[in-house]
Structure 1
Amino acid sequence: MEVRYICPTAYDSSVYLVNGKVLIDAGMNSDLIIKQLEKYIKLTDLELIILTHCHYDHAAAAAVIVEKSGAKVGIHKADLECVNDEYLSVSVLFGEKAPTVKPTVAYEEGDKIDIGNGEYLEVIHTPGHSRGSICLYEPISKSLFSGDTVFPGGSFGRMDFEGSEPEKMVSSIEKLTKLDVKTLYPGHGAPTDRDGNSQIMASYRMLKMMMGE
């Protein structure tokens, strides 16, 4: 699996170009992201944008990228209606209107997304940060695109937004502890290949401690 890491500004989500044709999250700054993408591919080669959840900093640039590429957009079914809501997308916190992208693919737990080269991403529903937050697992390279569910260093996503489900976060991260993860590709910050398993377990322990479990 070939992964290109794109981070246009400190406030955008991390954006990952996978196998030259699938984008995981889209960030906010479409001009900068498109400029980076065009270093690696013709924009019309982009086939799919997968949003790990509905929040503005992950989804705002998707509409312009779709307009220029013709790519489809997928999101978990629980966030399908949330992405265009200014409160559930938290765009109001950025002083902006909700993302205008209209996802056409609705994912569910266990779906397998073909990314070419005989590889696929498995959809893992991890509600907590948002209702429809997902992580994406690629078993050959033992890679996890974790969105805003877990981050390196034992941290995890905020659970105080409208649409957050803090009561589900522990079981969501517990699901991730059962995977064999080498490389962690988080929704913010740079990826790390420093033993993803132990980093996820640290997040799990930290969350349980915070929740008093």
Structure 2
Amino acid sequence: MIHNLAAGQQVFTSNVFLITGDRTVLVDPGNEFDVVPEIREHVDELDAVVLTHTHPDHIGNTAAVVEAFDVDVWGYDPGHELVDHAIADGETVQLGDHAFRALHTPGHKNDHLCFYAAEPRILIAGDLVFANGSFGRTDLEEGNREWLVESIEYVLDAIDEELAELHTGHGPSVTRDPYDHVAHAAKAARMY
């Protein structure tokens, strides 16, 4: 089960996905709101924190979550002060009840990861792509439009056209034709 704990928050934060099941994981702790009580409404313990990338709106609450639940943090860049364990491109990561393949997707930020589970056809896209064909910013430090386009195409090649769920770093999740939203983002990123 995937819960967006940031839904309804009126602060500068990313979406915060609590994925429950065999391995209860928090994807992107968010920023500027007290996420710990939100987590405790659903679970008593966490097995891990996983980061899509290390922009402040995605990681601001990390220290509070680590302190409250005594968990390690996983991300692409083990050199980052918050990351305890590296996740490599192509590595399999257990989130909830499913095995997700990590996809290194730079362009928005160098340490950006997406996660795709082929069995339930779920994509956790971070800030690579969003609903309605939107795509991540490239005007911030480490942003690179050419890499972003390549990363979106990499994800398109990895996912199934029957994608069932798209969970993004900001805005709504998509459950109706989510593959089309990713394909439109690829086209838009190439054009603009």
Task: Give the TM-score normalised by the residue count of structure 1.
Answer: 0.82
Residue deviations 1:124-181 (CA, integer Å, cap 9, x gap): 0110000011101111211101000000100000001112232211110001212112
Give the one of 99, 103, 120 matched to 1:120.
99
- What is the 5 A alignment of 1:102-181? 102-117=82-97, 119-178=98-157, 179-180=159-160, 181=163
Percent identity over the alignment is: 30
* Structure 2 alignment gaps of length 5 or more: none
Counterparts of 1:209 and 1:137, CA distance in 2: 26
CA contact (8 A) 1:30 1:62 kept: no
Q: Secondary structure at the residue paired with 2:132?
A: coil
- Deviations along 1:28-80, whole A, 9 cap, x unmatched? 1352x1121111011xx101111100100000101110011011101112xx4
CA distance in 1, matches of 2:110, 2:61: 21
Aligned partners of 2:75 and 2:86 also within 8 Å: yes
Task: Report the Cα distance in structure 1 between the residues aligned to 2:4 and 2:94, rounded to whole angstroms.
Answer: 20
TM-score w.r.t. length of structure 2: 0.91
Q: Which residue of 2 aligns with 1:3?
A: 2
Letter paired with 1:145:
I
RMSD over aligned CA atoms reads: 1.4
Instruction: Say if 2:12 and 2:32, in contact at 8 Å, map to a contact too.
Output: no
Distance in 2 between residues matched to 1:116 and 1:57, nearest whole Å: 23
Range moving further from structure 2, 144-153 or 178-187: 178-187
Q: Answer whether contact 1:49 1:74 (CA < 8 A) is retained.
A: yes
Structure 1 segments of 4 or more deviating over 6 A? none
8 A contact 1:30–1:64 mirrored in 2: no
Structure 1: 5+ residue stretches without partners: 85-101
1:194 maps to what in 2? 176
Q: Give the secondary structure class of the aligned counterpart of 2:63.
A: helix
- Corresponding residue for 1:14? 15
Q: Deviations over 1:73-127 (max 9, x none)?
A: 01112xx44x55xxxxxxxxxxxxxxxxx2111111101012353x211100110
Q: Contact conserved, 1:48 with 1:73, CA < 8 A, in 2?
A: yes
Work out whether 1:24 is the aligned partner of 2:27. yes
Give, in whole Å, the separation in 2 of the partners of 1:113 and 1:10.
29
